[in-house]
Amino acid sequence: MSASTTDDLGHPVDLGRPACRVVSLVPSLTEAVAATRPDALVGATEWCSHPAGLEVPRVRGTKNPDRSAIAALRPDLVLANREENRELDIRRLRDDGIAVWVTVIETVDEAFTSMARMFTAGLGWDEPAWLGQARNVWAAPAPHSGRRVAIAIWRDPWMVVGSQTFTGDMIDRLGLVNAFGASHDRYPRVELTDIDAAGVDLVLLPDEPYVFTPDDGPEAFARTPTTLVSGRSLTWYGPSMLTARAELEAALR
């Protein structure tokens, strides 16, 4: 590993050796590391819920990481993501002398290429077998159904998935049309009337970041059908991509 190694934002990261102690500030990347080299994972956020039974020290959340707790864990590398973590926190960690690798993932293809670089160039490990298996799962094209969907991520105010997002690209890979995919915003605020006006055939209600349930979400839509889906399948990259396609296709039948 040389000084010329850079993360997805072009920031130089030079460990000089493979990482043995890793703190992850991204649930998807936490699961990716735990599935690949669990003994190397020494810290994660409170939101890192997979794999089930994960027992590592917690360093608060993705938006407010505890820098003192991270430093005390003596990580060789901290894993972050441009969307999920604040640039301010990343900069402060680096100012503390802690190496941080930032990923940028806005499409399915970027998920594969970014994680491959993270493992090989960032962590200095071999590319894990599950990553190639996930590539194969998503390689086959889906028939274009033409069904228009809206993906809600919050209510009061209502927010949906817009343009340039991993989730939106995943929906496209499933042969669906994101009704708000041409929005100027990545996560636009909308009114329920906007959804009806967009000619939406189905509203997807995931269980994260807002926890939509049978009693919280579907009742708001008098005209448009809804379906509850796994937020992990819809928004996470990493090992979840091995099963996400089948789970989402089953939920959308």
pLDDT at position 141:
82
* Predicted TM-score (pTM) of this structure: 0.92
Q: Are 18 and 5 in contact (CB under 8 A)?
A: no
Q: At 94, which helix (H) or strand (E)? A: helix 87-95
Quote the DSSP letter at residue 216: B
Q: What six digits make up the tokens of 35? A: 């599935």
Rounded Cα gap, residues 210 and 155, in angstroms: 8
Domains present along the chain, CATH in parentheses: 22-137 (3.40.50.1980), 148-251 (3.40.50.1980)
pLDDT band at 146; cut points 50, 70, 90: confident
Over residues 131-152, mean pLDDT: 91
pLDDT at position 4:
57
